[in-house]
């Protein structure tokens, strides 16, 4: 039996190392976001090990290494807008916008948003 409504912990494992330090509370927040949006989410990136190729290339590992970040696939402008509106309303503090996905995170610094 899953602790979560819409997700399984395995969906958030690092694609390169298999490590999975995603935080339960963060998944619960994604469950709420999914409910508010009213459409299924595909997680394209959850937890990333600091050894993951993308993170290892950075001067400082990014938000995915904290266990409080995910990239969610979107299909078109309506899904993108809905997800963005709900993520902002819920107070996610990091929101990145790509044509194919939305990044959400719970960073401890000042809230930010950016395009890819």
**15-47, pLDDT tens digit by residue?**
999 999 999 999 999 999 999 999 999 999 999
Q: How confident is the model at residue 7 (pLDDT cuts 50, 70, 90)?
A: very high
**pLDDT of the residue at 1:** 60
Q: What residue ranges define each of the domains in the chain, with the CATH number in brackets?
A: 10-107 (3.30.1380.10)
End-to-end CA distance of the chain: give it in Å, rounded: 37
CA 48, distance to chain mean position in Å, is: 11
Q: How far apart are CA 56 and CA 94, in angstroms?
A: 21
What length is written for the chain? 116
The chain-wide mean pLDDT, for the chain, equals 97
Residues 16, 53 contacting (CB under 8 angstroms): yes
**54-76, pLDDT tens digit by residue?**
999 999 999 999 999 999 999 99
pTM of the full predicted structure? 0.96
Residues 62, 94 contacting (CB under 8 angstroms): no
């Amino acid at each position: 039996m899953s602790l979560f409504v819409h997700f399984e912990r395995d969906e958030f494992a690092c694609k390169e190392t298999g490590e999975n330090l995603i935080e339960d509370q963060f998944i619960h927040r994604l469950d709420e976001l999914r409910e508010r949006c009213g459409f299924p989410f595909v997680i394209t990136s959850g937890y990333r090990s600091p050894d993951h190729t993308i993170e290892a290339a950075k001067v400082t590992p990014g938000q995915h290494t904290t266990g409080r970040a995910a990239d969610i696939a979107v299909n078109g402008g309506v899904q993108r807008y809905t997800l963005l509106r709900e993520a902002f309303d819920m107070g996610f503090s990091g929101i990145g916008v790509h044509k194919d996905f939305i990044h959400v995170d719970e960073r401890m610094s000042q809230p930010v948003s950016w395009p890819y």
